[in-house]
Amino acid sequence: MFRKLALLLIVIAVVVPAIAIRAQSSDVSGKIVVWGWTAAIRDTLEAAGVLSAFNEAYPNVEVEIVYYPPADVYTNLPLALTAGEGACDVCLVEDSHLSEFVHLGGLADLTEWVTPYLPITNAYRWPNAELDGRYYGMPWDSGPVVMYYRRDVLDMAGLPSDPEAVSEMVATWDGYLDMCRTIKEETGFYCFAHNKANNYGRLYEMILWQQGLGYYDRETGEITVNSPENVATLELLGKFWEEDLVTDNLEWTDAWYAEFAALPEEGGTPVATLIEASWMDVFLKSWIAPGTEGLWGVAYMPAVKEGQVRASNDGGSAFVIPEQSQNKEAAWAFIQFAVGTEESQIAMFRQSGFVPALETTYDDPAFAEPDPFFAGQQTKLIYADVVHKIPDGTVYGPNYSMMNGAVSVAIQSYASGQMSAQEALDLAAEEIAANLE
């Protein structure tokens, strides 16, 4: 362990200054077109001053930003990669889709450029950017999963609301289930939202990931969606449905938002918790739960079994360069400046709270700042601790969209009582196998 830590420190000491020097080079020129969505590019990268700083450092590079919603990126990018024309020079891609594009082909090999970052970036981020030992993406932010909770609801239920005590109370999913029962009995409020009819498996995938599970075996390619561990995970979630501890509201709908912003003293019925990635931090405080400053806390997510990992991932994003780009050097200069330097990553972290995949940022004072929205809790220290512990899961991958679709139908069938978890996931495995033939 000591040797590994010493090696990491040597790498950081030797490699990072070299990276910083390269990032200051102004010998690069040309025009690049960048595709990405507004929350990441306009509201974070540009708002944090990173684009203007890049323009100063690289005065001979012209940057044109084209804003696309993620869905449009996932339509336009594969079409352009397949056609061999029409792509941008730099594209932002969510990790859930990265491996699909890597396996589709048409992305530039970034191996030589990203190699210095391999030992100083979250290790679990690289498998989805890699194919046959070569790397085709550069990670930006990661998605460490925690448990957000309402302090006022736990107080009403007679439960401890201090973050450390709450983390201990929900040390396992069984402990979380007990806490949810108490909240329902004492307040009448539900514990979290978990829709049945349109469930698309987001929470289910987080629990798989924290166990190092997923939909396939990375080494053999074997489909694992109906493994005993996957079935047990779905049955674990089923307990919350069976005991009527969750609402039926679907994520990212008005009814879902209203549960987070509700105030009991005004007759509202808030949900008590939300297990989600750290990027939810800025969404809660900015537009989902206005008027609730000081009422929230952050705890570690439950482990499936006592002593197991209390860390998972949801989301994360990376930059790629299409092979057809005529200005790859300028494209890489932009990517490296934006997400490969500590200064830019910390500036964007302060702007939007997106946790950098670049691990050399984690000792920055920004991570220790108390947050008034969370009653002065140093929430970002938990995010940095969790992101180090995320195991390598096989939820995302070259066939993620298809596999997620089949598993979502299985979850909905199980939730509605049409079939058992085993039967539903067996059917999903058959569908996936047929699609892969």
- How much is the pLDDT for 13? 44
- How much is the pLDDT for 266? 96
In this model, does residue 315 exceed pLDDT 80?
Answer: yes
Measured CA to CA, the distance from residue 339 to residue 145 in angstroms comes to 21
Q: Per residue in 83-123, pLDDT tens?
A: 999 999 999 999 999 999 999 999 999 999 999 999 999 99
In this model, does residue 215 exceed pLDDT 80?
Answer: yes
- How much is the pLDDT for 27? 83
In 3D space, the residue among 212, 241, 248, 243 whose CA is nearest the CA of residue 229 turns out to be 212
For the CA atoms of 293, 314, 200, 173, the dihedral, rounded to the nearest 10 degrees, stands at -80
Mean pLDDT taken over the chain: 94
Q: What's the Cα-to-Cα distance from 103 to each of 3, 24, 98, rounded to whole Å?
A: 35, 33, 9
Structure tokens at 72: 């449009």
Q: Transcribe 326-342 into DSSP letters.
A: S-HHHHHHHHHHHHSSH
In this model, does residue 212 exceed pLDDT 50?
Answer: yes
Q: How confident is the model at residue 71 (pLDDT cuts 50, 70, 90)?
A: very high
pTM to 2 decimal places: 0.92
Sign of the C-alpha dihedral computed for residues 279, 285, 290 and 292 taken in this order: positive
Structure tokens at 357: 């995949």
In 3D space, the residue among 127, 89, 92 whose CA is nearest the CA of residue 108 turns out to be 89
In 3D space, the residue among 200, 227, 201 whose CA is nearest the CA of residue 212 turns out to be 227
Count of alpha carbons within 13 angstroms of residue 59, beta-carbon side = 1
Q: Per residue in 29-44, pLDDT tens?
A: 999 999 999 999 999 9
Measured CA to CA, the distance from residue 262 to residue 273 in angstroms comes to 13
- How much is the pLDDT for 25? 57
Structure tokens at 356: 């950098």
Q: Can you state the angle between helices 342-352 and 50-57, rounded to 10 degrees?
A: 160
Measured CA to CA, the distance from residue 78 to residue 74 in angstroms comes to 7
**What share of the chain in percent tops pLDDT 70?**
94
**Which H or E run contains 147?**
strand 145-150
Q: Which residues on neighbouring strands pair with residue 34, listed in sequence order? A: 65, 90
Q: Per residue in 266-288, pLDDT tens?
A: 999 999 999 999 999 999 999 99
Structure tokens at 169: 């109370």
User: Do residues 193 and 256 touch, judged by C-beta distance below 8 A?
Assistant: yes
Measured CA to CA, the distance from residue 64 to residue 39 in angstroms comes to 17
Measured CA to CA, the distance from residue 174 to residue 61 in angstroms comes to 55
